[in-house]
């Protein structure tokens, strides 16, 4: 009932918000078939478009827009990690937009809903088993998941000292729920809240911003056993396939995840004539407690910690009829886990679980991702429309996880190169078309892995989880794909766009994956 009411609130709020956004700037648009491509170039190249430092928006080259889209997505094939689906489909509704009532006010927001059907899933009791925590309850039963996701965000900014200082806030809420269809039937619900208040100082050619970051996460997982005559083996993962296990024969088992994160962001921009550089950095310290409900009391099982470092450097150089853009993006996540053993004290004075021992840093993770992208776009005479473009990318990923006491580890590096040409054109009679090709090649280097079994007479986790994980992560692969869009531009500048996107991935050992995506969007 609560989720149903939330859904009604979301729908009512965004129907009203986008009706306001549409009416607020539809009158200002003229009869211009290129307007859709103007917005497309803005979304592709604007640094602030995806930034969560909202106060920066006051001193940015913004465009008003509203987008509503319905989508179908799919993933099919043998190339997938062991806790993800062999096949999955999703039905998606997206809406977003912004309005600029004056030079001193910026308002933006968005809403997302998706219904996902994930088939043939193992070792999973969470909405997203790869979000970080190693402390997961899992079973080896092959089953299907049904997951719903709701999210909404808003970005608001206003100037508080004329031409000098602005304030803003970014707020987001993400809610998801999912359930497995076969015993032991985990049912999970989670929510994440993020708040980022910010200030920006404008110094003419220079712009300096700062923000405080707060996030709150909660996930509750219930294992439900409908057929109590057949017991189920539950693995309590501790990282990299290391586990303890229980025989689950009662009707329900509950696990709770409670996390908090705090951090900060800085942003800097220098702009002069046809040159612009944007720099942004973010640090977040996050901690999460994992507890089971036993004897109607919380029993602490572990703690997950992470330090996240993220930065982006964006260079733009404009010519008479071209735009050069370079992005450099380092992303680092240092993780660790603390195992906690508690014993129940049933005395009248205590009647609670008490900590007997703690084992910090038994599991450690270190993930690094460095990405560099160069793009060259041709520009129309007004520099708002790009008929042709090409993008070249390089990515280096390193993945290092270990569970030292059991001498279990995975570490590797891979290098990914990509190439993406695109074309945007007017076909006449208000018809629009876009075409894009995508190619990618990945080479894995320095791959090492080792697993020490807890139960040598029960190789289930080793063979179906750890070995599967190493098989997938160690693969060199290539992918080929493309996207084609056809649209109609109305007299008032609004447009209706049909897009078909497809990617095919294949590895050196014959694993493969298909990624189709179909969408219908209305832009105004």
pLDDT of residue 295: 81
Instruction: Please tell me the predicted confidence (pLDDT) of residue 229.
Output: 78
| Angle subtended at Cα 182 by Cα 301 and Cα 80, rounded to the nearest 5 degrees | 75
Residues with Cβ within 8 Å of residue 429, at least 6 apart in sequence: none
pLDDT higher than threshold 70 for residue 5: no
- The string of pLDDT tens digits covering residues 442-482 is 999 999 999 998 888 889 999 999 999 999 999 999 999 99
Number of CB atoms found within 10 A of residue 503's CB: 18
Write the CB contacts of 514 (distance below 8 Å, at least 6 apart in sequence). Answer: 74, 75, 76, 77, 502, 503, 504, 505
Report cis status (omega within 30 of 0) of the bond before 184. Answer: yes
Side-chain-side CA neighbours of residue 49 (13 Å): 15
Please report the pLDDT score of residue 251 as a whole number: 64
DSSP tally for the chain: helices H, then strands E = 4, 21
| % residues pLDDT > 70 (the chain) | 93
Question: How many CA atoms lie within 13 Å of 300's alpha carbon, on the beta-carbon side?
Answer: 20
Place 518 in a pLDDT band, splitting at 50, 70 and 90: very high
pLDDT at residue 17 above 60? Answer: no
Q: Where are the alpha helices (DSSP H) in 46-96?
A: none
Which whole number is the average pLDDT over 227-236?
Answer: 83
Enclosing H/E stretch for 19? helix 2-25
% the chain with pLDDT above 90:
80
pLDDT digits (tens, 9 = 90+) for 126-151: 999 999 999 999 999 999 999 999 99
Nearest-angstrom CA–CA distance, 390 and 419:
7
- pTM value > 0.85: yes
Statement: residue 20 has pLDDT above 90: no
Mean pLDDT of the chain: 91
Strand partners, 461: none
Nearest to 277 by CA among 47, 499, 33: 47
The answer to which of 9-18, 255-264, 314-323, 346-355 has the lowest mean pLDDT is 9-18
Instruction: Tell me the C-alpha distance between 284 and 262, whole Å.
Output: 6
**Could you tell me how far CA 87 lies from the centroid of its own chain?**
19
What pLDDT, in 10s, does the model give residues 331-362? 999 999 999 999 999 998 999 999 999 999 99
Of 121, 114, 126, the closest CA to residue 90 belongs to: 114
């Amino acid at each position: 009932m609560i989720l149903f009411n939330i859904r009604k609130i979301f729908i009512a709020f965004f129907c009203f918000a986008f009706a306001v956004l549409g009416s607020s700037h539809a009158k200002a648009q003229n009869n211009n078939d290129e307007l859709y491509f103007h917005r497309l170039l803005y979304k592709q190249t604007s640094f602030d478009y995806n930034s969560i430092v909202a106060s920066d928006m006051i001193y940015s080259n913004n465009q008003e827009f509203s987008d509503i889209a319905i989508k179908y997505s799919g993933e099919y094939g043998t190339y997938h990690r062991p806790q993800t689906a062999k096949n999955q489909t999703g039905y998606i509704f997206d809406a977003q937009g912004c309005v600029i009532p004056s030079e001193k006010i910026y308002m933006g927001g968005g809403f997302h809903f998706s219904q996902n059907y994930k088939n043939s899933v193992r070792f999973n009791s969470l909405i997203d088993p790869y979000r970080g925590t190693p402390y997961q309850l899992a079973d080896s039963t092959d089953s299907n998941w049904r997951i719903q996701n709701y999210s909404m965000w808003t970005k608001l900014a206003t100037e508080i000292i004329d031409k000098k200082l602005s304030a803003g806030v970014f707020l987001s809420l993400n809610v998801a729920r999912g359930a497995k269809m076969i015993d032991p039937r985990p049912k999970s619900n989670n929510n994440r809240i993020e708040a980022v208040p910010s200030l920006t100082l404008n110094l003419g050619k220079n712009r300096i911003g700062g923000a405080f970051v707060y996030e709150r996460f909660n996930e509750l997982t219930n294992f439900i056993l409908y057929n109590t005559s057949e017991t189920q083996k539950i693995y309590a993962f501790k990282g990299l396939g290391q586990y303890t296990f229980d025989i689950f024969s009662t009707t329900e088992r509950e696990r709770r995840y409670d996390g908090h994160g705090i951090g900060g962001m800085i942003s800097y921009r220098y702009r002069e004539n046809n040159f612009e550089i944007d720099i942004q950095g973010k640090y977040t310290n996050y901690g999460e407690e994992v507890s089971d409900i036993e004897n109607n009391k919380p029993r602490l099982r572990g703690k997950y910690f992470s330090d996240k470092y993220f930065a982006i450097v964006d260079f733009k150089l404009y010519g008479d009829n071209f735009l050069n853009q370079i992005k450099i993006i380092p992303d680092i996540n240092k993780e660790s886990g603390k195992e906690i053993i508690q014993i129940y004290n049933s005395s009248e004075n205590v009647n609670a679980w008490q900590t007997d021992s703690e084992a910090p840093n038994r599991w450690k993770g270190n993930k690094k991702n460095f990405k560099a992208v160069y793009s060259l776009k041709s520009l129309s005479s007004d520099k708002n429309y790009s008929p042709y473009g090409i993008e070249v990318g390089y990515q280096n990923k390193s993945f290092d996880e270990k569970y030292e006491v059991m001498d279990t580890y995975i570490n590797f590096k891979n290098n990914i190169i990509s190439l993406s040409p695109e074309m945007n054109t007017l076909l006449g009679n208000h018809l629009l078309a876009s075409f894009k090709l995508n190619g990618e090649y990945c080479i894995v280097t320095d791959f090492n892995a080792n697993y020490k079994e807890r139960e040598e007479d029960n190789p289930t986790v080793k063979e179906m989880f750890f070995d599967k994980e190493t098989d997938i992560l160690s693969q060199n692969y290539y992918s080929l794909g493309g996207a084609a869009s056809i649209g109609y531009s109305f007299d008032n500048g609004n447009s209706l766009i049909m897009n078909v996107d497809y990617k095919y991935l294949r590895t050196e050992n014959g694993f493969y994956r298909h990624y189709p995506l179909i969408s219908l969007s209305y832009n105004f």
